[in-house]
């Protein structure tokens, strides 16, 4: 690592060196929680708290680096996660938006392997087949984006998926399951750092669920403001089931159902 100098003993120096290596600024994340995640990974792989050797290993071992990056960015999700919220999304949110328009622009922010973005596409295909729509999925981890683009998933990804939808929209492929092209055609995936990159505008729905729980309060404020700016008036921000936006009235968002916020 050309820009790495000296022995790294403390967390702050590790954060700076890792940002140089990866482009990911861990200062946006809650320090205590992130330190635990890093130290647990290091201990599991035999580095204990030796940041110097660990950084060198990350620089030379792409498999270790990819595994660590995935560990930090917490890519855990599944289709129809929190199924009752998806019922609200289908029965209330989408019809409300379609009362004033004929097409929808949707974004799954922090999309991991694409399960959430494809869940949205399945809902559109199954319940709103005549509506034009586009779905963007973005994530900072290029490895999970490869899975998202392939549309191939394992059985464990479908624990919350209604069986009829699973059977209708997925095809068995080598003991795994691939989403059908008829659903994938309206979904695209791109690499993005939510905290530093510019956002597109004009979205009717932004789903950012179970992504910000490790962010600092300051980082959350910046991110939610960026999301609000990217929504159309009347657009919806859909958050995770532990992510209430208490005290966020200054953003111009109004709660219309638990975890659904509308831009005024």
Contact 135, 121 (CB under 8 A): yes
Contact 109, 127 (CB under 8 A): no
**What's the order of all strands across the beta sheet hosting 103-109?**
187-191, 132-139, 103-109, 203-208, 231-239, 260-263, 253-257
Element (H, E) at 157: none
pLDDT in tens, the chain (264 residues): 333 434 445 788 888 888 888 777 788 777 888 888 888 888 888 887 678 888 888 888 888 887 887 777 665 678 998 889 999 999 999 999 999 899 999 999 999 999 999 999 999 999 999 999 999 999 988 889 999 999 999 998 998 899 999 999 999 999 999 999 999 999 999 999 998 999 999 999 999 998 887 788 889 989 999 999 999 999 999 998 777 787 667 889 999 998 999 999
Contact 80, 162 (CB under 8 A): yes
pLDDT score of 3? 39
For helices 31-44 and 62-73, give the axis angle rounded to 10 degrees.
140
pLDDT score of 178? 97
pTM: 0.80
| Residue among 123, 127, 126 at smallest CA distance from 115 | 123
Q: Residue with structure tokens 């657009």? A: 235
The C-alpha atoms of residue 5 and residue 18 are separated, in whole angstroms, by: 12
125 CA to centre of own chain: 22
Q: Is 170 helix (H, G, I), strand (E, B) or coil?
A: strand
- Which domains can be identified in the chain, with CATH numbers? 11-73 (no CATH), 83-263 (3.40.50.150)
pLDDT score of 74? 64
């Amino acid at each position: 690592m050309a820009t790495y100098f000296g022995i790294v003993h403390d967390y702050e120096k590790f954060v700076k060196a890792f940002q140089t290596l990866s482009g990911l600024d861990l200062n946006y994340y809650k320090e205590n929680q992130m330190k635990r995640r890093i130290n647990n990974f290091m201990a599991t792989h035999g580095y204990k708290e030796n940041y110097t050797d660990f950084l060198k290993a990350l620089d030379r071992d792409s498999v270790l680096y990819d595994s660590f990056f995935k560990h930090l960015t917490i890519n855990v999700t599944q289709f129809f996660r929190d199924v009752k919220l998806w019922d609200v999304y289908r029965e209330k949110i989408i019809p409300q938006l379609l009362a004033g328009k004929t097409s929808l622009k949707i974004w799954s922010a922090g999309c991991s392997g694409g399960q959430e973005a494809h869940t949205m596409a399945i809902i559109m295909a199954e319940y709103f087949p005549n509506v034009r729509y586009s779905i963007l999925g973005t994530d900072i981890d290029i490895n999970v984006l490869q899975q998202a683009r392939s549309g191939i998933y394992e059985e464990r990804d479908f624990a919350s998926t209604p069986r009829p939808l699973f059977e209708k929209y997925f095809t068995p492929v080598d003991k795994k399951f691939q989403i059908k092209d008829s659903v994938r055609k309206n979904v695209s995936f791109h690499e993005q750092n939510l905290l530093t990159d510019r956002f597109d505008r004009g979205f009717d729905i932004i789903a950012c669920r179970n992504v910000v729980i490790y962010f600092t309060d300051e980082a959350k404020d910046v991110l939610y403001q960026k999301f609000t700016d990217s929504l159309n008036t009347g657009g919806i921000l859909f958050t995770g089931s532990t992510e209430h936006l208490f005290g966020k009235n200054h953003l111009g968002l109004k709660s219309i159902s638990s975890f659904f916020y509308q831009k005024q």
